[in-house]
Amino acid sequence: MNSPEDLIIGDWSEHSWKYERVATPKQKKDACTDSLSVALKEHLGKDLLLHQNETWTFRPNGELHISSPSNETRVLYWRLKGKGDMLVIKDENKVPLEHYKVTYIDKDTLSLNFELDIQVKGLASMTFKKCTH
C-alpha cells in the first residue's frame, strides 16, 4: 500500500469545488451541498489563495508548482502532517499559507477540505484528478 506522501507526488488537475453551508445549527444538521459559484470564489479569494482550474504538481523535494490556465506558475512548498491527513501549503519563505484536510487520496483522486471562517461559514471541498501524460 502506498503512503499518502507517495500517492500525492505528481500532477493533479482541479476537477471540482463544492461548498457545504454550515452557518446555523439547522444547516449543520441538514448540510446542503452546492457547487461553489464564481462570485463566491471571488469573495473567498480576498482571504485565501484562490485556486481555479489549476494544475498542482507535488514534487518529492517539498516543492509545489501551481500552474494556472494562462501558464503562470507559482512555486510554493507542501508538507503532509499527522497521519498524512493534513496538507500545509507554505509560501516562498516557508511560512504557512493554507491548511487542508486530506479527505481522500488514491492513485487517481485527491480531495481536500478547508473551513471557511468568514461571512460564509462552511466547508469547501476541492477535488483533483491525477494527470496522465
Most confident of 15-19, 105-109, 122-126, 129-133: 105-109
Q: State the average pLDDT over residues 48-63.
A: 81
Long-range pairs, 39-45, Cβ under 8 A, ≥24: 40/120, 41/17, 43/119, 43/120, 44/116, 44/118, 44/120, 44/124
Model confidence band, residue 29 (pLDDT cutoffs 50, 70, 90): very low
- Give the model's pLDDT for residue 54: 87
Residue 46 belongs to domain with CATH number: 2.40.128.540
Residues of the chain with pLDDT > 70, as a percent, come to: 68
Structure pTM? 0.74
**Cα 58 from Cα 61, distance rounded (Å):** 9
Question: Domain span at residue 68?
Answer: 4-130
Model confidence over 80-95: pLDDT tens digits?
999 999 999 999 999 9
Domain count, the chain: 1
